[in-house]
Amino acid sequence: MLTHDDIQRVLQDIQFNDWAFDLRLDSGRPYLLVRFAGACNTTGRLQEWEGRKWFLSSDSSRSEIVQTAFKAVITALEHEARETFRYKGEAIFGPHFDCDLLVELCKRSDVLDARHEAA
């Protein structure tokens, strides 16, 4: 079992651009998150961003921690892509849509646009 200091050392050995990999606690449970500076997709102002919490189990291996850090990077990059990819000027795949409103959209039969199967 890795200690808090062991996990911190693993995170210190990870590099991606100028991003930071933080180890924090939430009610005693360790988690990592990524921090990075970037322009706000709405205002354009440079600011510090934090990714979501990635909880680590008490018996995580070094490889699991490194892979979780990689997943945190990939997810943060996908988040940014969803905010900046636009169709007709709108971020149609944006990560901040209300999930209950998306459920309502899914229930509508008039919103589907799919290829028809060939006979």
Q: How far is CA 49 from CA 31, 53, 101, 113, in A?
A: 16, 13, 26, 35
Predicted confidence pLDDT, tens digits, the chain (119 residues): 899 999 999 999 999 999 999 999 999 999 999 999 998 888 989 999 999 999 999 899 999 999 999 999 999 999 999 999 999 999 999 999 999 999 999 999 899 888 887 76
- As a whole number of angstroms, the distance between CA 53 and CA 69 comes to 11
Over residues 94-115, the pLDDT tens digits come to 999 999 999 999 999 899 888 8
10 Å CB burial of residue 56 (0-12, 13-18, 19+) is middle
Largest CA distance in the chain: 62
Model pTM?
0.87
Q: How far is CA 59 from CA 22, 51, 71, 86, 99, in A?
A: 18, 23, 18, 41, 33
C-beta atoms surrounding 51 within 10 Å: 20
Q: Give me the helix-helix angle, 4-12 and 62-84, nearest 10°.
A: 50
10 Å CB burial of residue 91 (0-12, 13-18, 19+) is middle
